[in-house]
Amino acid sequence: MSKAILDFIIHYEYAGIFLALAFGLIGLPVPDEILLTFTGYLVYLGKTGFVLTLMSAFLGAMSGISVSYFLGYKLGLPFLKRIGPKIGITEKKIEKTRWYFQKYGNLMIIIGYFIPGIRHISAYLAGISAMNIKRFALYAYSGGFIWSITFIMLGKGLGRKWRVVEQYFHNLGLYAILTAGAVVLLIWLIYKMKIRRA
């Protein structure tokens, strides 16, 4: 990960985490998962607090993905195809995400957080398809929380070895473990919500 981004997070702490993730979710080239893992490392060092780090990350993700949704809703697919290549969103990624959307439906918004290149497009496509805003918020914000806490906890757990994630991030096995963990956590949260309502 770029030293400039690390320095930005160290200097601005919670505001830096919020801004980096907000712009990253809109589509700028920010290594989001590695950034989150690094913030977990800062928690491990005691330089930032766990709760404030998680809230900063969650609010940043929530803001970024909401902006993406509204851009898709207001400006449509032509905007995404025009601006996409400038921020690394290619035609191939758009079509791949659309295929995932057709196959997995609303869950793709949650799963998409764990797939680089896909999470940046899923919110745009949700907006383009005029998904109900309440349904979008339910899936997008739940996914943002699960995604944030997964990588922050990973960085906190790894401690000084947090760069292992940067070195092996593209390993499919790591993705499979993290995605499985996220799905289990999601099922647990839904179960708890149902119990409370009952």
pLDDT band at 139 (very low <50, low <70, confident <90, very high): confident
pLDDT in the model for residue 11:
87
Q: What is the mean pLDDT of residues 63-82?
A: 82
Mean pLDDT score of the chain, rounded to an integer? 79
Q: What is the pTM of this model?
A: 0.76
With a pLDDT cut of 70, the percent of the chain lying above it is: 75
pLDDT digits (tens, 9 = 90+) for 147-166: 899 899 989 988 888 887 77
pLDDT in the model for residue 65:
92
CA distance 100 to 94: 10
pLDDT in the model for residue 50:
95
pLDDT in the model for residue 19:
93
Q: What is the mean pLDDT of residues 177-181?
A: 55
SS3 category, 29: coil
Contact 97, 121 (CB under 8 A): yes
Burial class for 107, CB neighbours closer than 10 Å (0-12, 13-18, 19+): middle
Q: Is the pLDDT of residue 67 over 60?
A: yes
